[in-house]
Structure 1
Amino acid sequence: MPSVDVVDETFLAVPPARVAAEFADPGAWPALWPDLRLEVLADRGVEGVRWTVGGALTGSMEVWLEAVLDGTVVHYFLRADPTGPDGLPARWPRRRATAETQRRQRAAKRIAFALKARLEAGRAPGEPPPTDLTRRA
């Protein structure tokens, strides 16, 4: 079992293709995960991306995008161990691993809520997407 095991999901009232575009640019990844080096393991298009992780942690990470109703559930997974001085996975004491997992959980939620705020652009709960509003007018 990895030292850091993060699972998160957040609903965004935005189509999967729009959310996928946010994760498609490797140039954006350092802003989202500054201490991790990511290498694409599987580019799943509108269904997300899987990466191998290096840097501060060694393991795997995935953003899986699930179309639900008129939006997307962003599923986030990070399963990794600290990277030791030799570049190989190491182990942390339980308390340290728990603290790091909680820190990474909060970071994942910050990323999701920032995307939600920006991509939904103030869309009120229960309101149709802006494109639907223009069709009705």
Structure 2
Amino acid sequence: MSSIQVADQTFVAAPGERVAQAFASPERWRRWWPDLNLTITEDRGAKGIRWAVRGGVVGTMELWLEPALDGVIVHYFLHAEFAGSGGVAAQQHTRRVAGRAMTFQLKRELEAGRSAGEVPSHVASSSTGE
């Protein structure tokens, strides 16, 4: 078996609670990682989630939400073993691209209608007392 180690991060201008809700659905996990079976090992709420991973790879995966500025940094980690064909480098690339696609989808959804540099709605409404 060969090890796959993926670590990536993406800033999302949304509260951790909203980001956590956006990736809480097992149906979404199946769309993002169709060949993986994920079992929650730790639901950390607004701080993220950890899974045991089986299927195309075997190991652990985590989304850690780190509060930063007016949102969170979504840290994506995958530590797994791969026993299939196609080479470790190709598998590493595939898993990195899947993680990036997931975080960019969350970013598009949660920042929809917000122009670059504009204060996110959750910050603007709290500063005006709404």
What's the TM-score bracket when you normalise by the shorter of the two chains?
0.7 to 0.9
TM-score normalised according to structure 1 size: 0.83
TM-score normalised according to structure 2 size: 0.88
The DSSP-based 3-state class of the residue aligned with 1:24 is: coil
Q: Which runs of 5+ in 2 are unaligned?
A: none
Q: Which residue of 2 aligns with 1:15?
A: 15
The DSSP-based 3-state class of the residue aligned with 1:7 is: strand
Is 1:97 matched up with 2:88?
yes
By how many angstroms is 1:91 displaced?
7.2
Question: Which of residues 78, 94, 107 in structure 2 aligns to 1:116?
Answer: 107
In 1, the alpha carbon distance for the partners of 2:20 and 2:95 equals 21
Are the counterparts in 2 of residues 81 and 91 from structure 1 also a CA contact under 8 Å? no
In 2, the alpha carbon distance for the partners of 1:110 and 1:76 equals 11
Are the counterparts in 2 of residues 14 and 72 from structure 1 also a CA contact under 8 Å? yes
State the identity %: 45
Runs of 4+ in 1 over 6 A off after TM superposition: none
> How many residue pairs align between the two structures?
128
The more displaced of 23-32 and 2-11 is 23-32
Q: Which residue of 2 aligns with 1:41?
A: 41
Q: Deviations for 1:60-111, whole angstroms, at most 9, x for unmatched residues?
A: 00000011011010000011112xxxxxxx376xx81011101111111111
Is 1:125 matched up with 2:112?
no
By how many angstroms is 1:118 displaced?
1.3
Residues 13-92 of structure 1 aligned to structure 2 (within 5 Å) = 13-82=13-82, 90=83
Name the larger-Rg structure.
Answer: 1
